[in-house]
Structure 1
Amino acid sequence: MALLEVQDLSVRFERRDEPPVTVVHDVSFSLEAGGTLGIVGESGSGKSQTVMGLLGLLASHGRATGHARLRGENLLDMKPRALNRIRGDRIAMIFQDPMTSLNPFLTVERQMTEALQLHRRVTRRTARQRAIEALERVRIPDAARRIAMYPHEFSGGMRQRVLIAAALMMEPDVLIADEPTTALDVTVQAQIMALLREMNRERGTAILLITHDMGVVAELCDDVMVMYAGREVEKASARALFEQPLHPYTVGLLGALPRLDAPGGAPLRTIPGNPPMPGNLGPGCAFAPRCAAALERCRTQMPPLESVATPPHTRARACHLPIRHDGALRAAPGVHA
């Protein structure tokens, strides 16, 4: 049995005097103990709302449907009190924005030790010592003194490290990291990635990583799910995805990465246009207006997510474009497979 299994997860938001808008459509994935899954896509693709939905952290007008089972228990059916016993303990999250995730009226010590005292029933002194050790692991200098400070006394990067330390010290079964290294410099980013790998390999912590950074995905993730406009468009092992992307959107994301082997002065390729607004989607593939290889039926028929065999890999994609006999995406003008 998978440690975390998500099936047909959808998220919608009610709107006053307007029909509800669905921002996540029937997303499914599973995560084994010790596994790492990266969810990638542009801003607005539904990555964060997917995990907010399965954790019961949506805004008051949001609703998640489907199944999200942690060791067989459906999180979507749980009452708030039962969810509170799981969140921050068996499943922890590193939020993207440290400014809104930390309470400005409470010291860092209070915010870090509260979960330990609640879930582990340890003394305040023990909780404080473990919090200091966690801060030291994420390279907060003079942690024993700084733990008594308030969030506004930390830089943005240090606040992000506080969030990471708070999540790591709970040693959860599943760690969800939403852009965990965005505010960090390259050196600290490498240290945090090393900590995540250590938890993953030594403790068997399953990691669900939400990121724009394909380099981080290549370094940390076993598998990758690419999302666009609230839907899965491609799933594959990280190695297979980087070696041979099978969806034009994935090709575009990888094509926008700087490459050391690119010819001198060669410009970065970009994906033209912008992602669609939720609730403003046509009947066909949402990526069709930005896809240079789009077929006529791409604009009128939604492609289903289907398994694709590209030996030695089995993967899935949602695309009408045919695949060549060698397993590569059949390129059209503007698509560099």
Structure 2
Amino acid sequence: MIALSEQDRAGVDAAIAASLERLQERSGPLGEGAVALAEAAAAAGEKGKRLRPALVVAAYRAFAPVDGEEPNAAAPSAADEALWQVGAAFELLHTGFVVHDDLIDRDVERRGAPNVAGRFRARAAAYGASPDEIVIVGDAAAVLAGDLLLFEATRLIATADASASVRATLFEILDDAILVSAAGELADVENAARADVPDTDALLVAAHDKTAAYSFEAPLVAGAALAGASVGTRDALAAAAADLGLAFQLVDDLIGTFGSRSQAGREPGADLRESKRTPLIGLARRTGAWPRVSSAIALAYTGPVAVRRAQEELEASGAREDLVALVRSSLENARAQAASPDLSPAAAALIGDIAAAIEGRVP
């Protein structure tokens, strides 16, 4: 995937660190609980891949080639600082969503360590809370930490060194990203709760909305806006980014079902164990093999042997092949959008590079 240069990574990391340090300093006078909450929020933002800041920076440099050269390490410009701050905002937006997503999924760990809820469950147990109260405290902390991170993302946009019109555009981008992502996450949760599997189109809409809007469209368009790109240019970029984001999420679904431990960063077949209603499952539902697939998925939670059987049934149904075809179709659409006269050769090349990186993740 697109990566930050060493200098850009340092700039983004410094902006994130400054934001989280400010949060912790301001929490000090508010008591031990507030300090612990700020520390947990800061810990949630550590060791991220920085995908979204990388997209902000890459789009900015694609649309501002004259001013978008590598920053001077000795004396970064005000434009560099603003760019890194906006990139940091999208990383903290992602972190806030992850904290809330863990709460929705009832997870108490992230990357093998206690997440916000896990930390506060342990804290509550240490001061003698009952089992029910331990869960309530952990859940409350996750809600509040996620809220703080979402506000920090907003504050970074508000204080970026940009013109009033550019800041207004950035706020519109952030506003849309949050609303669409919330709608997508809710649809995902409701889809999982329905008695029957929703149709594939509904699952594809949820897959796009919960991830593509804030992970691809918003960062890429924000970088272009910061570089002064026109409305028409931003619209053309958003159209390509929507296809890129959908393809990225569909590949994540493939990895969550068929990927190795190293690819998924967790137990293989985790999506099957959790009975997630992804577009892959929607595609399988369309086939005559659905009764066998459904029965196999219903037992996947029992262990690796059952997971492997569910994988085999999904593969035999043709659903995996169909989902890979959807990924490739989305990427081809993105590449076609890159040919828009509103997009520069540098922007088209960026879209092509991202598409190639996404295609390379297919398990």
Question: What TM-score comes out, normalization by structure 2 length?
Answer: 0.28
> When you count helix as a share of all residues, which structure comes out higher?
2
> When you count strand as a share of all residues, which structure comes out higher?
1
